[in-house]
Homo-oligomer: A and B are copies of this chain.
Amino acid sequence: MAIEPIEGFLCPAAELSAYISDLLQAAGADVPSATATARAVVDASSRGVDTHGVRLVPWYIRGVEGGRVNLRPNVSFTRKAAAVGHVDADDGLGHRASFLAIEEGMAMARESGIAAITVGRSGHHGASGVYSLAAARAGFAAMAMTQADPAVVPFDGIKPFYGTNPISFAVPAPGEEPMLLDMATSAIPYNRIFLRQATGTPLPPDVALTPEGEATVDPFRATGLRPLGGANFGYKGAGLAAMVDILCSAFSGMGHAGTIPPLAGEDYSKPIPIGHFFLVMMPATFQALASFDARIGAFLADLRAQPATPGRAVLAPGDVEKAEAARRAVDGIPVDRVTWAALSASAERYGRHVPEARPTEGNRRDA
Contacts and interface: CB of A to CB of B under 8 A. Distances in A.
Interface in A134-185: 141, 154-159, 161, 167, 169, 171, 179, 181, 183
A86 interface: yes
Given A235-B1, A298-B256, A154 B303 contact: yes
A326 interface: no
Given A171-B250, A250-B292, A287-B251, A156 B299 contact: no
Contact of A287 (B1, B155, B250): B250
Contacts of A116: 113-114, 281, 286
A284 to B, nearest CB: 10
Contacts of A315: 155-156, 235
B113 A82 contact: yes
* Number of chain copies forming the complex: 2
A283 interface: yes
A269 interface: no
Interface residues of A, number: 82
Interface in A289-307: 291-292, 295-296, 298-299, 302-303, 306-307
A285 B154 contact: no
A259 B306 CA distance: 13
Contact of A161 (B167, B295, B306, B312): B306
A159 B339 CA distance: 43
Given A113-B116, A239-B317, A159 B250 contact: no
Given A157-B309, A236-B228, A239-B183, A84 B250 contact: no
A314 B156 contact: yes
19 contacts: A1-B155, A80-B286, A81-B111, A81-B112, A82-B83, A82-B113, A83-B112, A156-B314, A157-B314, A181-B239, A188-B233, A204-B232, A228-B237, A250-B299, A255-B295, A255-B298, A256-B303, A258-B303, A258-B306
Which 9 residue pairs are nearest across A and B when measured between Cβ atoms? A84-B113, A81-B113, A83-B83, A250-B295, A82-B112, A156-B312, A181-B239, A83-B112, A239-B317
